[in-house]
Structure 1
Amino acid sequence: MATSTSSPQLDSGPQHDPERVPRRVGFSQTLGRWDVKVSPYLYISPFFLLFALTGLFPLVYTAYVSVHDWNLIGGKGAFVGLENYVFVVQEPNFWKSLRNTFSIFFISTVPQLVIAIVLAAVLDANLRARTFWRMGVLLPYVVAPVAVSLIFGKLFADKSGLINTVLGNIGIDPIGWHSQVLASHVAISTMVDFRWTGYNTLILLAAMQAIPRDLYEAAVLDGASRARQFFSVTIPMLRPTLIFVVITSTIGGLQIFDEPRMFDQTGQGGPSRQWMTATMYIYELGWGNQKSFGRASAVAWILFLIIITIGLINFSITRRIASDNATTKRKKVSR
């Protein structure tokens, strides 16, 4: 008698039930996904919140004040539009303050960058007690600007100053540091360089330490001297950092206030305003005889637009240099 045997059907794969309810994602998994997506924005949000509170809001509020007849004593007045800007650009002291600001900026920035590069190169060498020297170069930056201005104001005094005394001993006539335009700019630039050279030195030193050492080894094998290595390897590799230092120096140099303000006892930029800067002119309009916050805000916004324009020019130069470097590297690789 034949018996039929039934073999079990092979399972061809998982069977999907069309009536099966989709599995719900737990709260912890949802929270984890949101944590990955949202956390980066939460980490950077404090900066933007502080910037909106201390930077963006004052900027917008200053623009609002600049189009009103706003007085220190009377408060907000009528809407005047661009009348404050027209008044400012017609004032001779405004153009004189811009001239002084750019003059002090150029006189101080060029020597400052040269000295900072040289000091950074020296500190990058094998010196004894390198940490001590690197800390020491930053000490002038820690000193209060008012103290620096008072000390240098005595050094550059017209009659009894140390600088004129030394010049008189070697047969050079005393210089009118507080009466001559160029001399006053040189004296104030010296104060600026004293405070900021060490700060820029450390930035350039950090960039020098990031340069690959195999570039110097290859230069040594090619027979390059120390000077040749400095101008052919160090300086080209420092271009992005140098541009960054130039941008920050431009922003700080165009906003200089403490050094020229404390250069004499009156704090008005000299008897003929020969060293009055743009920020000092803003202070004079807002808290001086005119006490016009509207006009002071107009000058502040003009200065802001000038800084933005120079910053955009520097940014375009930075991108061009970066693209040129990338093109040069691609050509070398293709060869």
Structure 2
Amino acid sequence: MAFQPQQLGVVLAQAVEHAFGEYGMNGCARVFDDPRASGPIAEQMRGVAELISDVSICTHSYLHVPGAFATGTQVDTPSDFVPVPADVGAIKGALAATLLNRLLGLETVSYGSENQGHPFVNLVPHEGKGRKVRKSREGMRGHTDGVSFPFPGTRDEVVQRMASAPDWVCLVCLRNPRDVPTRVVFVAPLLQQLAPELVEALREPQFVIQAQGTFVKGMTDILGSTHIVDGGALLRGAEDFSFRFSHSNVDVASDASPQAKAALDAVEEFCANNSQSVALKPGDLLWVNNRQAVHGRGEIGDATGGQERWLLRTYGIRPGIVKPDQRYPERLFQLYP
């Protein structure tokens, strides 16, 4: 059967409505406390796997599933990352997200150091003043989430227990009245056009990688300081490669080679000129490959609350790459730190 994202969206939407009928709104809202609560519903959807059986999801830089849930959102857009309101549209969107992750063989996870470990967070324009507020309203040039976290299959040299960055960034659209685009940059074409010596420079441990801003407070609370990789690579692997990058949080080390600076400049230039835009509609899901794509967004603007842009975000990861010591025992979906 040919893979059709639209068909998958219809089936997901039907499953969500069925779940609301069987478990009620409060029962479905359990996904906010533990995403694994969607397990019984996912078991009823075993046949849906046929829709994606002919696609290796990890070969795609993003997956856009339109119409995966009926929004019906009844509350104003929040003005901070957490909490996510117990709103019918938000619950349906979160449930659709956990179901899609299960169908793709992914686990829905969060990190204890980001937004108090909540598995779903609001991506919204924030109220107030300061750098965090400005960043919530401005466009984003591009990054991979959890940029300072180790590559899969490796351990951080200082924080051995640290889990790897997520495989997928999962976006759930509740509102997007001005069609603000999510921008995705595929990394494979960049690596194909870079000179071999610049690709090799990206593999060498000659970059300084600072923790993503949303992790800084939590890491400081848990680890005693924020996380910085002083001498890390941005690229690992060949065909099934992993890449990490952030315009704001990555720079060359003081002793880096000239090729490292040239490679970083080339990455920044490529990201500025080679993005694909996806303007999400309410009810849409967008999964971005956090290993092989960089994502950003257009400018949101200064208006807050009301009917302004509101996405939910969670993460998907292959269960096999998470080791037992990299989870919090009391909340197994939360990864360390």
| TM-score tier (shorter) | under 0.3
Instruction: Provide TM-score, normalisation by structure 1.
Output: 0.22
Higher relative contact order (CA closer than 8 Å, sequence separation 6+): 2
Structure 1 or 2: more strand by fraction: 2
Pair member with larger Rg: 1
